[in-house]
Structure 1
Amino acid sequence: MSRINDFQRRMPEASHDLRRRQSVWLRWHIDLPLLLGLLVLTGFGLVVLYSGSGEDWHYVKRQSVFLVLAYCVMFTVAQVRVHVMEYWAPWFYLLGVILLVLVLVMGVGAKGAQRWLSLGGFRFQPSEILKLAVPAMVAMFLSRKILPPKFGHVILALGLIGVPTVLIMKQPDLGTSILIAASGFLVLFFSGLPWRYMFGAAGVLAAGAWPAWMFVLRDYQKQRILTMLNPEDDKLGAGWNIIQSKTAIGSGGIQGKGWLNGTQSHLDFLPESHTDFIIAVLAEELGLIGVLCLLALYAWIIGRGLVIASNAQSTFGRLLAGSITFTFFIYIFVNIGMVSGLLPVVGVPLPMVSHGGTSIVTLMMGFGILMAIGTEQRKVSIG
């Protein structure tokens, strides 16, 4: 009997200590596996960026500042309750659409594109907001309907996706418009969209390929597609980037030439070596082994995102987490595909590795949403 009494006296203390230890990360809404993956990835990215930028500390310091800001944004967003995100999703979406309209009316142009707004000397790209606003809006809309969605609801969701996509294409920014459309379609896919709808959409896209080529795509966009199919047709012009990137990737072999020993980037043969084509630098210097290490880090983060999505407590959280995770995958796929010559060059940076501020902050905001969804689930599960 004394042993039973001792057990009963000790269990409340033990369970209290267990809850206290478990609540350290939950109190700050931090998903530890996801955070560790991001820390290793961003650290690895800074090492690659130092070489890709020609050993220029300016880019590394600038990227470090953006990363500190991005992590702060991620931790801040992670504190927001999921139901609060759901409530504010329509207003966030509406703000983004209004800003896109303002870009067309009074936006700042550069290199033939009008994609930025300038407020008080600060220039930003409103389309980045829609990378999260569109999937959040579509997830909110569908989560309040019976799933799988009916045909009318699918049409309305496509309208929510189409409005910002068209506005961004008019800037023009084909790469960002594709990513935003994909983020919205992914929400539809995870909502249990019937296969007949997806086959029908594929048929519509196939039928619209020729009209899009003739009346939608601009001349430089057509040239990018032709260059992808045959870069050797203009070796010193449009095909130069792809030829040099494939040369860098192939010359790295299995083990690479060694960090800081790449020739294509350091001799300025490889364009945009610190931004869009940075994975070619990685492949040349660290070889296939380095690329596989990077892909393993990406796989860890994507896998963790899928676990969070599958364990989400609400339909809104599940749809939004799944879309954010797979949109991150699309970023990776598109960048590696265009650098290796499998996809047209559309100006999509390599996530968390390429130099850039706005894209990193947006991505980290998405991971903050994932942490909010994941920690809310675990907080409910342990009572």
Structure 2
Amino acid sequence: MTSVPALGEIPSHWTVERAKWLLNRRRRDVRLEDGIVTAFRDGQVTLRENRRTEGFTNAIHEIGYQGIRKGDLVVHGMDGFAGAIGVSDSDGKASPVVHTYVANQNVDVRYVTYVLRTMAMSGYVTTLAKGIRERSTAFDAPTLANVQLPVPPLTEQRRIADFLDAETVRVNAVSQHFRRLVDLVQARVQAVVDAAFAEYEAESRVPVSTVCRAIVDCVNKTAPTSPETTPYKMVRTSNIRNGEVDLTDTFCVEKEIFTEWNRRGTPRLGDILFTREAPLGQAGMLCSDEKVFLGQRIMLYRANESRIRKEILLFNFLSSHMNRQLRLLGAGSLHEHMRVGDGLKLQVFCPPLDQQDALAKQIEEGRDASLRLSALAQRQIALLSERRQALITAAVTGQFDVSTASGRNVTEGVNV
């Protein structure tokens, strides 16, 4: 048996080759009709308009852009470590941050893509690449050229790619059903909140600035993070979702940075954190007394509980009433970002104080069952993702013969 870095042992009749002998780099001119192609972290490479257009920064002059053709292998130089590697399904153009290849006659480009994504998801690409920014690496063309890849006979590569194409489609289809369920659950949660606020007239709405003891907006640049684990953590927009602030995936910083970045006010237990960009409109309550500070594009609202309970303030941010205000800020469509000044003008429902505890309890009871269902659905999505990657890893390393295996029982180490 031969061993390959990051993949382990492969069958003895397979060979190992450096990527530069299997892939031919292409630098094509851009055509007038070319739209922008994006390599997404889930492995899809497609025209940006086929997925979404919000959240991107468009170049004014498009200096260095290159042509992409359907069937090209596209590797994102900065996000390749996270899986932004795939075969383009579209003709178009892409920024110079990506590099593009066609496979030689002895290689099935789909098979190579599965191998490279497996290496990326295992963390191997991160160990190779040059650091550019936190949680991103420069997986450039010279680095890729020297990566060692397992190479089965071409007919076997095609069988593996065909098998994985079929199996991943099945897994992805099931995952999509669970994602729809999560979306429906979130819509139901919002409906519960809206129903609770429905009895209050427009006169009960007040500017959020009148019911808060403090409003803090993060206008800092990106904080330098610590390579060591410290008790001082940075909350990012990705930590704020569906009424919660999840601190399980945060960056650590040194005490000096924590102190400097909190000079405008330290987040406290019970504060409501709201994302004003990337994405706009997520809110969550800080339910931990850990030492944290705000990352970019986050606003903090601290309820004045002599006016409004913190739970009622949170539910305001989860309501469709808040969504309508954000749409108005975007002149009829959900805006990509909200200015700090507009964050002071948002209107919230403020029922009589003696009714708020009962109202909060009513909403919590209505949300609980839905949130449990959402958690179960998200767990299933995670398990399906593990299963899909287990299938891919087993296939591209020859752990089973895809010509006879269905793949449905290749779940060693995956709890399904």
TM range (shorter): under 0.3
TM-score with structure 1 length normalisation?
0.25
Which gives a bigger RCO, structure 1 or 2 (Cα 8 Å, sep 6+)?
1
Bigger Rg, structure 1 or 2: 2
TM-score with structure 2 length normalisation?
0.23
